[in-house]
Chains A and B, each alone.
Chain A
Amino acid sequence: MAEEAIRVEHVAKAYRLGPQGPRYRTLRDTLAEATSQTLHTLLGRHNGRVRQATGRDTVWALHDVSFTVAQGEVVGIIGRNGAGKSTLLKLLAHITAPSRGRVGVRGRVGALLEVGTGFHPELTGRDNIFLAGAVLGMRRAEIARQFEQIVAFAEVERFIDTPVKHYSSGMYMRLAFAVAAHLEPEILLVDEVLAVGDAEFQKRCLGKMQDVGGEGRTVLFVSHNMPAILRLCPRVILLDGGRLVADGPAAAVTATYLRANQRLGAERCWPDLATAPGNHIARLRAVRVLDAAGACTASVDIQQPFAIELEYWNLKAGEPLIANIHLYDAQGTYLFASHDNLEPTWGCRPRPAGLYRSLCTIPGNFLNSGRITVHAAVGRWNPHAIHAWVHDAVAFDVIDTGGVRGEYPGPWAGAIRPYLEWGTRLAAPLDSVPATAAVSEVRR
């Protein structure tokens, strides 16, 4: 067992929320606080601490978090937005102090919490390499030694003496990451650096991260990118609401995360017939997103089939109802519509009055990852009519666990990501191709 490089002991972190938002304190607050503190001190009730954060204005970003990391371990940190991941990294990087507990690190720490830290737009690429390097904790000699490599990695040779404010955002990003990537700390903290840049750049960042992990450095990596986490980190820590809820092998913890990621929005119910959306012919009672086991879920595994369920009342006997759903991605692209018109029992047939339940199964390896919004409707064809229609009825996240992407690490372009069958065969070995044709092919 390697020696410990990081110790987090019962750490809690509170942020104050002021009346004008979370940031500034007013002079009046402080004066009032000082007065009450003085009173407490005079009355002997002072608790001896510097201004304990308490009361209703306080938000706890972390609650009693403890764990240790051994030297050379690569650990992923996952959790929803606001789970406390970034706060944890800031505590490890010594940028901010904990409210309770303590955080210990052993060795030189490098924190990449943002691409472009220390960059100044007015300075040239060359100047910025030295400036940002110094800000990240590199020594001048170290930067000078790696200067050529940094420039080559960023591919900005021609613009190295141009102020970076004239760079394209891609060039800026590449240069900024190149500087950070050449930092050689013993403990590396990385926060979502891969969330920016184009696919090619993200791929290179991941490659560089993998190299770093292989060099025996201790790495803590915060990301929403599950495939990246699974590739890079043997061990994963899951935070939720500021608490450490799971710590263990990557596959197990990411599975826990997917299960736990159920939130409001995956189910909508209108139990009261009188107020449910619809008209005198049909009204919607419920819309749900269900996983393969039939449980309501707000996040579905990209590789697993799932279903969308519609519950609705038919109020007019003999009405040939058609239930339908319409799926939109986060960019608002209309992905597809699906109707139960071909359903074997009731599709396009007159139905007796009553409560109906229609289930549409959507296969795994079909949607792309991201947030999907569902519009739900009940209507009829010939003549066409819409009886009930709910815009943005439910929403869910398609969680990227790999699947179709295989070994490809970058974002997967396109509105959907279907698993399609390919057949590739060697049509003719090279030696049977006329020699001249083969040569011209090679030379092109």
Chain B
Amino acid sequence: MRATNMATEAPPLAVDAAASSAAAWQWNTPPRAWVPLELGALWRYRELLYFLAWRDIKVRYQQTVLGIAWAVIQPVFMAVIFSLFLGRLAGLPSDGLPYPLFVYSGLVVWQLFALALSETTSSVVANASLVTKVYFPRLVIPLAAVSVGVVDALIASGVLVALLVYYRLPLSPPLVVAPLFLLLAALSALAVGIWLAALNVQYRDVRYTTPFLTQLWLFATPVVYPSSLVPEAWRPLLGLNPMAGVVEGFRWAVVGRGALSFELLATSVATTAVLLLGGLFYFRRLEQSFADTV
């Protein structure tokens, strides 16, 4: 939206004024149904994206006693509880892996998704003071919000490495692609989150449904159980859950055992892509009235 000469270092104003006479008109017009995505504008605002992400990360554990340890405590406690009740008492299968390792590897990537989703959903409303006072591509806001989930997941991954060592599992070559699955989880959260973030601006109901939705979603995803537990006939449907392929894929990459179901992964990735693209257009359309409704 800003003048094209923004990409270069801002020169002194006298020169700038002369140069900008050639600058193009930028028009602000009534809301349209289909707005081009203009992802290039996002690139021009990458520094703002960086600063907003940095702010969210920095502020997250400010004035807490345990600080960043919270990023580890939450998945670890969940893993302990699941191992106790589902692994030990209910005796859920875990594809031949030690159940704690099985469930924790799933939880690391799941927590990334869940946290990033809740952060993106509330992001636009949380930044209402910016939305009503300054112009910038609004997509920067949910994009920055995802970062919190990514940072927490990276920290929680430390425990995962410790578990691998504890269970004497060798570090395998697929480990190299594990970050890709974390990225995919972040994209899934973004894909769902931008829909919900835009909706949340108009209907605050969304804020109350998201925690509930996330809990249900956990059990629709092979985090505490392996996808092999799902009847063969239903398995293609499982892929429609974008997180199904991601969780299975991440676990495969970390543990390096068994074979990855490419069918499952491909369906999940395709679902994410469709959701993301649709979400981007939906967000761009609603973004035109954010400042009036937020």
Contacts and interface: CB of A to CB of B under 8 A. Distances in A.
Contacts of B133: 95, 111, 113-114, 117
Contact of B135 (A111, A130, A142): A111
B13 A71 contact: no
B55 A103 contact: no
Q: Which 6 A-B pairs have the closest CB atoms?
A: A134-B51, A96-B291, A94-B135, A103-B28, A107-B20, A117-B133
Interface of B: 1-3, 5-6, 9-10, 13-14, 16-17, 20-21, 23-33, 47-48, 50-52, 54-55, 58-59, 62-63, 129-136, 202-205, 285, 288-289, 291-293
Contacts of A216: 13-14, 17
Interface of A is mostly: loop
A311 interface: no
A142 B2 CA distance: 16
Contact of A97 (B2, B16, B28, B134): B28
A99 interface: yes
A83 interface: no
Contacts of B205: 27
A19 to B, nearest CB: 15
Given A118-B130, A122-B59, A109 B2 contact: yes
Interface string A34-70: 0000000000000001110000000000000000000
A95 B21 contact: no
B26 A94 contact: yes
A3 B29 contact: no
A118 to B, nearest CB: 6
Name the residue among A50, A99, A130, A142 with the largest chain B CB count within 10 angstroms.
Answer: A50
A139 interface: yes
Interface of A: 3, 7, 15-16, 23-25, 27, 30, 49-51, 71-72, 90-109, 111, 113-114, 117-118, 120, 122-123, 127, 130-131, 134-137, 139-142, 184, 186, 215-217
Contacts of B285: 50
B272 to A, nearest CB: 27
A104 B55 contact: no
B58 A95 contact: no
B159 to A, nearest CB: 27
A106 B20 contact: yes
B27 A104 contact: yes
Contacts of A123: 55, 58-59
